[in-house]
Amino acid sequence: MNHVTDAVIKAFTELYGAEPDGVWAAPGRVNLIGEYTDFNDGFVMPLALPHTAVAAVARRDDGVLRLHSADVDGGIVQLRADELAPLGSGSGGWAAYPAGVVWALREAGHAVGGADIHLTSTVPTGAGLSSSAALEVVTALALNDLYDLGLSGDRLAVVAQRAENAFVGVPCGIMDQTAAACCTEGHALYLDTRDLTRRQVPFDLAAHGLELLVVDTRVKHALGDGAYAERREGCEAGARALGVAALRDVPYAGLRAALESLGDERIRRYVRHVVSENHRVEQVIGLLDGADPRAVGPLLTEGHVSLRDDLRVSCEELDLVVESANAAGALGARMTGGGFGGSAIVLVESSASASDTVTKSIETAFAATSRTAPRIFRAIPARGAHRVA
């Protein structure tokens, strides 16, 4: 046990007047490559961050659900497990995430009753690093253990996604929850979002003298919410026009012909992004399996250009990170997550001079345009959700 665990147990005990049955953790994530592909049945490749949501939980057999977050003002939220009902888009506040998991488990036929839950998280919220999935998955894993449900990580991810889609009201894909539940230390997770087959791909950048930086721009443009639904709808329209179940079914070799057959310029751009992005995931896998992870860099930048110009989900701050990093000698960079703010990733040589030069270049570019300084840290692939005490 470490001091975080001790502190969470202490806080739980002060709050609820008894010790928790256990403590669980689930990480945030960055997506290496495969953006806006998960609702197109495509491929993604996230890795878990060392930042986690931690939950101290005690089972209750009286059906009462008490929820508390150390990171939010407002005290304990008290509900009844058998009275939970979706409130619709985003109106439930933070407690909708853990409550939604209880609801989704019960909806799936699992005999989950009440619980006392105390949460705290080091995953920055709204930074595109998936603090919401960390919260859902840590709750799902704790209840899985305390109610002996015997669900595997990928099943828990599906439950957590259902909580976010149907209870919280956010139409996310399956990537974030699967990353939080299933990632392993030292690996990126290759996931086929159609059939949920997955593979742990060794991602030991240090062994190759490389580093992956995460740059949280600390901005979030409101535009993002509606834009996500619009891109999703546009991709579905593209699949319909091409006569396929999902854009994943358009092979890269058939992209040119597919584009020529589409009349709508907007749909053409969306199709080009998704089909080329799936291809980039496959190329990155080949490079990581082979001996040349440096060559991943240009693919990251290519992916960014596609998200910026074809899908149009980037923003000035994300473009500034990518441009200033690449100008200072980074191997490649791209926005990660939903865009319109949030975070970017940058692949750099791990020599102090290279990594420092890139970091300084990004910081200088932000300072020169009077923006809030970005938060920059190294992504070291961590483990997925687990019990800590």
Active site residue ranges: 176
User: Residue holding tokens 């000035």?
Assistant: 316
| Piece of 131-139, 190-198, 258-266, 378-386 that binds ligand ADP (CB under 6 A) | 131-139
Contacts of 230 (CB under 8 A, 6+ apart): none
Min dist CB 38 to ligand ADP, Å, is: 14
| Number of amino acids touching Mg ion (CB under 5 A) | 1
From 81, 135, 215, 346, residue interacting with ligand ADP (rule: CB under 6 A): 135
Total chain residues near ligand ADP (CB under 6 A): 17
Cβ proximity to ligand ADP, 29 vs 269, nearer residue: 29
71 binds, among Mg ion, ligand ADP, none (CB under 5 to 8 A by kind): ligand ADP
| CB closer to ligand ADP, 91 vs 351 | 91
**Contact status: 132 vs ligand ADP (CB under 6 A):** yes
Backbone angles phi, psi at 214, to 5 degrees: -105, 130
Q: Rounded distance, CA 70 to CA 51, Å?
A: 16
* Cα gap 55→143, rounded to integer Å: 11
The DSSP code sequence of 23-71 is EEEEEEEEESS--S-GGGT-EE-EEEEEEEEEEEEEEETTSEEEEEETT
Position 119 contacts ligand ADP (CB under 6 A): yes
Q: Is 195 exposed, middle or buried (0-12, 13-18, 19+ CB in 10 A)?
A: exposed
Question: Would you count residue 132 as binding Mg ion (CB under 5 A)?
Answer: yes
**Given the structure tokens 């992005």, which residue do they identify?**
277
Residue nearer to Mg ion on the CB measure, 90 or 254:
90
In 130-260, alpha helices (H): 131-146, 153-162, 175-182, 224-242, 255-260
Binding part of the chain for Mg ion, among 9-17, 129-137, 138-146, 319-327 by CB under 5 A, reads 129-137
> Is residue 128 part of the contact set for ligand ADP (CB under 6 A)?
yes
Name which of 142 and 262 has its Cβ closer to ligand ADP: 142
Neighbours of 370 (CB within 10 A): 6
- CB closer to Mg ion, 160 vs 205: 160
How far out from the chain centre does Cα 310 lie? 22
| Span near ligand ADP by CB under 6 A; candidates 127-135, 192-200, 270-278, 348-356 | 127-135
The interface mask with Mg ion, positions 134-173, x = CB under 5 A, is ----------------------------------------
Interface region with Mg ion, contact rule CB under 5 A, candidates 128-136, 181-189, 215-223, 363-371? 128-136
Query: Which residues from 55-114 bind ligand ADP, rule CB under 6 A?
Result: 69, 71-72, 94, 97
Counting contacts by CB under 5 A, is residue 178 touching Mg ion?
A: no
Shorter beta-carbon distance to ligand ADP: residue 72 or 237: 72
Which one of Mg ion, ligand ADP, none is in contact with 94 (Cβ closer than 5 to 8 A by kind)? ligand ADP
Query: 222-233 b/e with 16+ CB inside 10 Å = b?
Result: eebbebbeebbe
The stretch near Mg ion (CB under 5 A) out of 58-66, 130-138, 243-251, 301-309 is 130-138
Nearer Cβ to Mg ion, position 40 or 132? 132
DSSP code string of 267-318: HHHHHHHHHHHHHHHHHHHHHHHTT-GGGHHHHHHHHHHHIIIII----HHH
Query: Which residue in 120, 2, 21, 130 sits closest to 67, CA to CA?
Result: 120
Cβ–Cβ under 8 Å, residues 69 and 98:
no
**How many angstroms separate the CA atoms of 71 and 120, rounded?**
6
Cα-flanking dihedrals φ and ψ of residue 187, to 5°? -135, 155
Q: What is the contact surface with ligand ADP in residues (CB under 6 A)?
A: 69, 71-72, 94, 97, 119-121, 125-132, 135
Q: What is the contact surface with Mg ion in residues (CB under 5 A)?
A: 132
